[in-house]
Each structure stands twice: as structure tokens, then as C-alpha cells.
């Protein structure tokens, strides 16, 4: 393949993407926002965020903004949601208008309530920087959202996984499929960018609640009921915003939700479990090497639900636990004892 990939970010997803690209023979460059992390990764070829993985030999590492996109034909954006805008503002002057942009971030930006792909578009379209506005305005057509059940430690061991490449730009989605065509990955195409991003963001909020069920030792019946009710409220929000119901049945919908709720390694699930066992949110976040996306996303999701007039009792309970001092025990009890009624998505 005549491709060269830039990976923006040095977290878990950046590392496992570099591994898959290396196996496909695609040169990749990881850009880190932090000089010290870039140097350490460059020299040791290992990251404390995914210690079991060694960086492929042909993966470059840089912290130089001007080198981030040098020669690249495709960009993978793997930056935590709340830092996305500042990073892309910083890198914007160096982006060529004709590259495909692949976003793997799962969250909603606080304040704007924008999805990751919208934040990137917003930054690229917002300010002139020597490139014609016309090509900037087309950014959304070149964006692919890549999502699915992808616990990174499993990908580092090359265990099988499925993803969805969602885009309005068929050719970019097909290029992502081709770039990641390694034996352990299966990438489906989907044109519901909105639905895939809403599913990816909100599942982390539900996973916080799932972790609380684990912390309270309430069992897998309760967790599975929560998963079903959580999926219903995710779909309710997504469909109100214009997403397709089918998306929430897919690997990036219920698939990602299931792995996030049940894998012992999920960060959001683990955070919820520790909260229910009595640890403070501050302590948990301070001890985590990676961002727990569900925490800021809970704020944005509750705002989105309000804006769209959607009832999201689980997300609202998680928000109340995180930011309003409600006890997980009381919250779970409250969810279980809501008035008996006919269950429905609508």
C-alpha cells in the first residue's frame, strides 16, 4: 500500500493501531503532545499505559508539531475528548486538506456538547491558516469514526476484535478497512457517524454504573438488566439526535457496551467499582494512567439528554453520584425500584 499514517496521541489506542499498521507494512508516526513521553517511548519502545506491548520497529515517534503529518496520507486522531480541541488547534496549521481523518476518541466535549469528529471539523473549519476555506469546509467528508469493542490489552495480544468504520465518505472508510486488514481485526463499514459516536461516548457512562454494580456485588443479572436499560437510553438519545436504531444493535453499539461493562480491564467499569467500594473520585482519577472518559462525558450526556428532552435515568444517576454526592447504593436501589411499567426504547 502507498499509505503513510500519522497517529495523534500516545495512549493505548495509538499503540495498538501502530501495531496493526506495522503488520500491514504501513509506516506510522506517533505524535505525542508531551516531549518527555515522546522521548521515553522513542527510546524504550514501551509505554506505562500498555506495558505488555512493544512498539513496532518502523513506528516513529515525535513531539514536533511540524513533523506530525509529514508525508502522511491518513491521520488517526487518538486524543482524549476534553483535550481534542487544544491539540487540533495546535496542529491545524500543518494539516493538508486532502488527507483522510480517522477519529477513535469516545466522548462528548463539555460546554459545546460536540462529538469528537465535530470538534475536529470545528477546529479545521474555524480559522483560516493559509489553506483555502473551500477545502477546509470539506473536512467532514473526509472524517471516519472508528469504534467498537476494543479493550487495548487484548488488541496488544492480537486477540480477535471487530470495529466499525463510520463515514459519509465511502472511499475513506474503505481505506481504513484496507489499512487494518490484519488477521485479528474485522472492520465493518457504516454511514451513521452520529450514531456510532453517540454509542461510543455514552457507553462509558453506563459502564461506570456497571462497575458500581460490581462494587456493590449485586451480580450479573442486575448488570445485564442495567446493560439492557442502558442500551435503551443510549438508543433513545441517539435516535432523537438523528442516529439510526440499527447502529445501537451493532458491534459499536451493544458490542462496545458489553465489553466495557463486563471486561475486568475496562477503565470506566473499574472506576465505577472503586467508587462503589468507597474510594473518592479524586483518588481514582489521580491513580489512573489513562483518562476515564465516562466521567467528563457524564456531564455532557446529561446536558444533551436535557436539550433533547430525553429521559436517561442511568446517566442521570451516574451524574448525581459523580458530582452531587449521591451514594451508589441509593442510586442503584432507586433505579431498581422505579415504577413498574411497560419497557420500551421509545
**Would you say 57 and 82 are in contact if contact means Cβ atoms under 8 Å apart?**
no
Q: Looking at the DSSP assignment, which residues form a beta bridge with residue 167?
A: 144
Which of the ranges 55-63, 136-144, 249-257, 270-278 carries the binding residues for a copy of itself, by CB under 8 A? 249-257
CB closer to a copy of itself, 236 vs 299: 236
> Kind and range of the H or E element at 317?
helix 313-324
Q: How far is the CB of 35 from a copy of itself (least distance, A)?
A: 33
Sign for the CA dihedral angle at 83, 101, 77, 243 comes to positive
CB closer to a copy of itself, 228 vs 285: 228
Which of the ranges 79-87, 116-124, 154-162, 289-297 carries the binding residues for a copy of itself, by CB under 8 A? 154-162
**Would you say 273 and 214 are in contact if contact means Cβ atoms under 8 Å apart?**
yes
How many residues contact a copy of itself, by CB under 8 A? Answer: 59
147: cell is 469504534
Which of the ranges 98-106, 225-233, 285-293, 318-326 carries the binding residues for a copy of itself, by CB under 8 A? 225-233
Q: Torsions phi, psi of 280, nearest 5? A: -85, 150
- The Cα 63–Cα 56 span in angstroms is 18
Asked if 161 is part of the footprint of a copy of itself (rule: CB under 8 A), the reply reads yes
Q: How far is the CB of 346 from a copy of itself (least distance, A)?
A: 8
**Would you say 10 and 37 are in contact if contact means Cβ atoms under 8 Å apart?**
yes
Asked if 250 is part of the footprint of a copy of itself (rule: CB under 8 A), the reply reads yes
- The Cα 312–Cα 232 span in angstroms is 9
Is 203 an active-site residue?
yes
Asked if 327 is part of the footprint of a copy of itself (rule: CB under 8 A), the reply reads no
**Cα–Cα distances in angstroms (integers) from residue 170 to residues 167, 241, 273, 320, in the given order:** 7, 22, 40, 41
Considering only 43, 130, 282, 342, the residue that binds a copy of itself (CB under 8 A) is 342
Q: How far is the CB of 177 from a copy of itself (least distance, A)?
A: 6
Report H helices in 103-216.
Answer: 116-126, 133-137, 152-156, 170-179, 193-215
Asked if 345 is part of the footprint of a copy of itself (rule: CB under 8 A), the reply reads yes
Q: How far is the CB of 70 from a copy of itself (least distance, A)?
A: 31
Q: Single out the catalytic residue among 106, 203, 223, 299.
A: 203
String of contacts with a copy of itself for each residue 164-203, x by CB under 8 A = x------------x---x----xxxxx-------------
**Would you say 251 and 148 are in contact if contact means Cβ atoms under 8 Å apart?**
yes
Q: How far is the CB of 301 from a copy of itself (least distance, A)?
A: 19
Q: Torsions phi, psi of 30, nearest 5? A: -90, 125
String of contacts with a copy of itself for each residue 103-142, x by CB under 8 A = ----------------------------------------
> Kind and range of the H or E element at 228?
helix 220-241
- The Cα 156–Cα 99 span in angstroms is 27
**Would you say 294 and 268 are in contact if contact means Cβ atoms under 8 Å apart?**
yes
Residue 250 DSSP label: S
Asked if 24 is part of the footprint of a copy of itself (rule: CB under 8 A), the reply reads no
Asked if 227 is part of the footprint of a copy of itself (rule: CB under 8 A), the reply reads yes
Considering only 139, 258, 276, 321, the residue that binds a copy of itself (CB under 8 A) is 258
CB closer to a copy of itself, 120 vs 318: 318
- Residues marked active site are found at 203
User: In the complex, which residues of this chain contact a copy of itself (CB under 8 A)?
Assistant: 148-151, 154-155, 157, 159-162, 164, 177, 181, 186-190, 218-225, 227-229, 231-232, 235, 245-246, 248-251, 253-256, 258-259, 261-263, 332, 336-338, 340-346
Amino acid at each position: 500500500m502507498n499509505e503513510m499514517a500519522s497517529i495523534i496521541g500516545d495512549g493505548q489506542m495509538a499503540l495498538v493501531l501502530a501495531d496493526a499498521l506495522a503488520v500491514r507494512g504501513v509506516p506510522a508516526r506517533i505524535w505525542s503532545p508531551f516531549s518527555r513521553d515522546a522521548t521515553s517511548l522513542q527510546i524504550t519502545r514501551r509505554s506505562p499505559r500498555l506495558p505488555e506491548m512493544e512498539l513496532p520497529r518502523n513506528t516513529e515517534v515525535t513531539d514536533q508539531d511540524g513533523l506530525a503529518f509529514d508525508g502522511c496520507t491518513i491521520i488517526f486522531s487518538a486524543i482524549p475528548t476534553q483535550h481534542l480541541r487544544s491539540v487540533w488547534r495546535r496542529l491545524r496549521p500543518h494539516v493538508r486538506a486532502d488527507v483522510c481523518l480517522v477519529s477513535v476518541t469516545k466522548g462528548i466535549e463539555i460546554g459545546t456538547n460536540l462529538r469528537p469528529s465535530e470538534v475536529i471539523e470545528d477546529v479545521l473549519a474555524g480559522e483560516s491558516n493559509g489553506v483555502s476555506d473551500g477545502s477546509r469546509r470539506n473536512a467532514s467528508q473526509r472524517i471516519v469514526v472508528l469504534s467498537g469493542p476494543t479493550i487495548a490489552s487484548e488488541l496488544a495480544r492480537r486477540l480477535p476484535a471487530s470495529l466499525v468504520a463510520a463515514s459519509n465518505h465511502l472511499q475513506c472508510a474503505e481505506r481504513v478497512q484496507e489499512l487494518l486488514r490484519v488477521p485479528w481485526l474485522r472492520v465493518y463499514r457504516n454511514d451513521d457517524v452520529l450514531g456510532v459516536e453517540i454509542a461510543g461516548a455514552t457507553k462509558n457512562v453506563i459502564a461506570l454504573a456497571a462497575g458500581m454494580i460490581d462494587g456493590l456485588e449485586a451480580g450479573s443479572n442486575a448488570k445485564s438488566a442495567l446493560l439492557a436499560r442502558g442500551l435503551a437510553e443510549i438508543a433513545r438519545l441517539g435516535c432523537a439526535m438523528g442516529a439510526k436504531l440499527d447502529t445501537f444493535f451493532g458491534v459499536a453499539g451493544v458490542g462496545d457496551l458489553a465489553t466495557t461493562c463486563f471486561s475486568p480491564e475496562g477503565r470506566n467499569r473499574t472506576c465505577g467499582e472503586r467508587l462503589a467500594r468507597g474510594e473518592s473520585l479524586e483518588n481514582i482519577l489521580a491513580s489512573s494512567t489513562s483518562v476515564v472518559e465516562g466521567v467528563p462525558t457524564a456531564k455532557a450526556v446529561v446536558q444533551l439528554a436535557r436539550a433533547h428532552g430525553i429521559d436517561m435515568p442511568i446517566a442521570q444517576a451516574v451524574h448525581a453520584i459523580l458530582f452531587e454526592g449521591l451514594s451508589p447504593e441509593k442510586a442503584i436501589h432507586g433505579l431498581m425500584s422505579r415504577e413498574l411499567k411497560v419497557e420500551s426504547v421509545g
